[in-house]
Structure formats: structure tokens, C-alpha cells
Amino acid sequence: MCGIVGFVGEQGDALPFIYAGLKRLEYRGYDSAGIALASDGQIALKKTRGKLEALGQLIGGMPAGVPCGIGHTRWATHGRPTDENAHPHTDCTGTIATVHNGIIENFQELRQWLVERGHHFSSDTDTEVIPHLLEEYGGQEDVVQAVQKAERRLKGAYAFLAISAREPNRIVAVRRSSPLVIGLGEDANYVASDFSAFLAQTRRAMVLENGEMAVVTPDAVHVMDMAGAVQRRQEFTIDWDIRQAERGGYPHFMLKEIMEQPDVWGDCLLGRTSGGAVVVEELGITREQLTAIRRIQVVAAGTAYHAGLVGKALIERLARVPVDVAVASEFRYQQPVFEPGTLVMAISQSGETADTLACINLARQEGMKTYAIVNTVGSTLARESDAVAFTHAGPEIAVASTKAYTTQILVLTLLALALAEAQGRARPDLVQGLLNLPLLGQDILSRLDGIQTMAERLSGQSDVFYIGRGLDYALAMEGQLKIKEIAYIHAEAYAAGELKHGTLALIEDGTPVVAIVTERDVAEKSISNILEVKARGAEVWAVVDEKLQKELPVDHVIPIPVLEPLLSPVLAALPLQMLAYWTAVHRGQDVDQPRNLAKSVTVE
């Protein structure tokens, strides 16, 4: 999703900061980039389709030592990824520049109105209406007032920055849903779509809330509502380590993020258990609130949805509280029925996924209690939900979610245990099992060399099936998403018992099938299903409870220590993530930024 960066300093040089800041936002996914500087009564502008390296070739000719500018990485929504459609966009006079994230829903009508008033457009974007509106409303004289007037005309979910060549010492930032954060430096201030853009410069930050604007100068940040009323805002310190946001020596962020999972699990569990029990308050909820829950409605997208499916099994088995899991983009338009006593639970790495946010807003409008399991502190979802449990996975940079997924499952497991206790159910002794996971995870990761051979074979295939039962089926769904997403291989996940109702017809000699068998109660049945596909010629690779490995008639086995079957998804996810990673590497794909995808999907 688009990345926004702005810099305004006493006398600093905006250009190198903006370029470096955009680099830090690369993980969000983009297809074009650009920078505008306010210099000598003019806007110096360079933009291009393609990656930042292409922009780097162009910016050499930009003026040095300019203390105010804005930059952007664009992920196309309106208009193809071309040089013209890249941001920043300017007004007719070329003295006002804007960058924008999100969607201006009424841009067609505004564009027509502006064209009738003599404005000339040079792109297909919705964004370009903003600088022209600013021009129309006197932005050359007073960009702040012009922003206030223009903003009243805009409909949609967006964030934008505006600079004027005539006022080269300030940036005006506007937030209407899409996130914007501000970094506070010594003799310069920063604006960006997320903290990682300026972490190398400062750890002091503040968040712009929905419906607010900020006038950012080198030595001050004035936050106000859109009518100009001053808003008090506390600054806070970001405790993320900058190295956490870098690759740490691995060739890809995804590999780094897979490998760091055992440590991250430790962080996620830290302080959340005591004496064999869950510390409920550390999940952002009280025991009384848990006791009152009659039903849970999970809303999420992609990998987070798959974590929700694991959570459903855990909560229903442990706490006997019914759980429905919905894809957020569907749920929001299905006129859902909210029963009293239902907790609406959103799961999200970014906390900015538009569909998931919309579900939470809908639930709140209906008077429901909302709860979020989120990774990103300060995200919109974290701030707009009634209660929050953070996953503490640290920044996840690769588009393919790995550590966010396993920590989401950990938090769901803790919640299931706490809920079981609050609802008066017998509480199985899973806490020690949870605390053992980091060590077991380390062990599994150190024994996965054999997966390279499988990945090499899989890299030459066009289709693969993932099968399992119960929790193993939920995990199969995540396994198939990973392989599609980064290796671009067609994959399907099937409940193993459902194969003979149709899918078995697709199995022929050499068809790869990844089978997951960690659910002891249904292991025999899963083995029968493996025999069915073997009999049709499938090549079967199995992620199995190590106690079963000798019984399995498969081509390759990845044994998993299953001390406690309910906790196995966290461990069994590791080989599935690695299989996808190495398959993508063998196919030569852009592992961290797969085609057509963005890390944070802030438009629906």
C-alpha cells in the first residue's frame, strides 16, 4: 500500500531523508515513486514508475540542501502504474504538491467541476483533484486554509500531505482513516505512513487521529480538527529496535521473520502466564468480561482469517463458547445479525486492513463489544476497538505473513484458556506446553534442511494440494495461501475427508500433496486419506506428529514433536512456511514483495 514521507527542517536536507524513508516503507508494496521539494518559490519534482532505484537515478539533478519536501511510493488503485500517475501531484501552477494514500471516492465529480473551472489534469489518479482543489481555494496564499476548505469537499478514506513553494517551512498533513504518524526531531520534524520511515532519526512520535490535520514546521507540530480547533496530543517513545526492521543478515525479510519466531513467541508469552495460569489482564480484557461472553464473531482477512479458524477450534474445544469466523470483506456487507453477548473479535497484523476495520466499526455502531488481536501498536484497529491484545511480533516486513500468524495463534490459545477458566470449564494444563514452544520451535528450525529437496521438486509443479483434518485442515489453508502468494503455484487446501467428494478426481501420477497429521484423535482417518491419494499416484509429503512417522506410507516426512496436539499448529506452521519460502527462492520470485500484493491493504 502507498507509503508517505515528509520532512521539514531548520536547514536540513530533505532529499536524502525522504529517499531513505521511502526505502524503509518499501515493504508496503508499490509500483511507482516520487519526491517533491519546496525550493526557491518552486516545486522541484521527480517521479517515475518502477522501484526506488529508478527514482534514485532521477533525483541526482534535484536541488541539494532544501529543508522541506514530501515523497511517496504508490500502489496503483486509480490509473495504471505510469510516470504520470506516480505521486507527488501538483496544481496548474506547479507550486503546490501533494502525496496521498487511500481513495477519494468522489474524485470523478470533483475532477469534472475543476475542469469546468479551467484546471488542467495530467494524470488519471483520484489524487490529482487535491492539489487543484488547493489551488482553487487559495493554496498559493495560505495552504492551511485551503486544505481545510478542500477537505470538506473530499469523500473517502485517505491521508495526504501538502506543501507549497511559497511556504517552504511547513507541511500540512491530513488524516481521514488512512494512517499518518509524526516524528519529532531536534531541528526537524517528520511525517510518514508508519514509524519505520523515521526510526533512524527519532524515537519520539505522535499519532494523527482520524479526522485531524497537523501543521508541521521544523520546531513545532500543531494538531487540529478539520475546523481548526486545536487538539492536545501526547508524544510517546517508540521502543522498536531499528535493527528489528532490517534483515539481520538474511537474504530476505521472510526468512528472517520465519527464523525469529521462537524468540518472538517468547516475547508474545512474556508476562502473560503465572503459576500455570493465564494472566487475563495481559490480554487486554477482564475475567468479568470473559464470563459474560456467549458467542464470538471473528472478522479478519487472509492469514489472519486462517489464524481465526485455528482460534475457533481452540476456543470451542477448551471453553465451549461458539465461534464464527468470517472473511471481513464478506461480513461487512452481509447485514450480520449480532446477538447480545457476542464479542466481535478482529485479528490483524497491520491493524489497518480496511475491511477488518469496517467490520469493527459496524459492530460498534450496533452496540457490540469489540476486541482486537493486533501486532501494530498505535494502529487504527488498536485504537478503535474496545479492548486490545497485542501479539508483540515486532515489525513484519515481508508481505507473506509468518510470525504474525503464529503469534496470533498464541494469543488465541491464551484467550481460549482464560475463557475456559472464566466460563467454569475444566482448564487443561497447557501453559507449560506454551512455554516450551520456543525451544521446540528452535529445534524444528534447525532440522529443516531436507525441505530444500521438496522445495526444489515443488518448484517445477503447477498444482499442489494441502490436506488435513480439524486443526490440521485450518493449517492446510494457511500452507496453501503461502505457496500461492510467494511461489505463484496453484494450491488448494482440502479437509482430508472431503477429497472423495470431488477433488480426488484431480489426483494423478506425481501430483504433489502436502498432508498434515498432528490431530491424534483423527490421525487414523487422515492416514486413510493419505492412502487414498497415494493409491492414485500422488507424491505425498507429510508434516506429522513424530510418533506417527513410521506408520506413514509417504514420500517425505517432516516430523514434529507433538507434546500437546492443541499447540501443534504453531510448530507445524514452520515447515509449511519454509516450504513456501524455498520454493519461491527456487523459482526466482521476489519473495518479500510478491507481485500484485501489498503488505497492508488499506483500501477495500
Binding site for ligand M6R (CB under 6 A): 301-304, 348-350, 353, 356, 399-401, 481, 485, 600-601
Residue 570 exposure: Cα atoms within 13 Å on the Cβ side: 34
Q: Is there a catalytic annotation at residue 369?
A: no
454: Cβ–Cβ under 8 A, 6 or more apart, which residues? 541, 556, 579
What is the nearest approach in angstroms of ligand M6R to the Cβ of residue 116?
39
What is the nearest approach in angstroms of ligand M6R to the Cβ of residue 57?
30
Nearest to 381 by CA among 130, 99, 602: 602
What is the nearest approach in angstroms of ligand M6R to the Cβ of residue 475?
14
Nearest to ligand M6R of 165, 357 (CB atom):
357
Nearest to ligand M6R of 345, 552 (CB atom):
345
- Under DSSP, is residue 461 helix (H, G, I), strand (E, B) or coil? coil
Strand pairing of 96-104 and 167-176?
A: unpaired
Task: Say how many C-beta atoms besides its own lie within 10 A of residue 70's C-beta.
Answer: 29
DSSP labels for 259-314?
HTHHHHHHHHHTTSEETTEE-GGGGT--HHHHHH--EEEEEE-HHHHHHHHHHHHH
Q: What are phi and psi of 345, to 5 degrees?
A: -115, 120
Nearest to 510 by CA among 540, 554, 489: 540
Residue 65 is placed in which grid cell? 540542501
- The C-alpha angle 392, 397, 403, rounded to 5 degrees, equals 45
d(CA 387, CA 385): 5
What is the nearest approach in angstroms of ligand M6R to the Cβ of residue 398?
8
- Assign 3-state DSSP to the chain and report helix, strand, coil percentages, each to 5: 40, 25, 35
Nearest to 296 by CA among 308, 306, 307, 305: 308
Q: Is there a catalytic annotation at residue 92?
A: no
What is the nearest approach in angstroms of ligand M6R to the Cβ of residue 481?
6
d(CA 550, CA 310): 27
Nearest to ligand M6R of 301, 585 (CB atom):
301
From residue 203, alpha-carbon distances to 196, 215, 219, 239, 430 in Å are 10, 20, 16, 7, 38
Q: Which residue is nearest to ligand M6R (CB)?
A: 302
Choosing from 2, 68, 268, 359, the catalytic residue is 2
What is the nearest approach in angstroms of ligand M6R to the Cβ of residue 258?
12
Is the CB of residue 453 less than 8 Å from the CB of residue 499?
no
From residue 392, alpha-carbon distances to 94, 233, 519, 569, 598 in Å are 44, 25, 28, 19, 21
What is the nearest approach in angstroms of ligand M6R to the Cβ of residue 598?
8
Catalytic residues: 2, 599
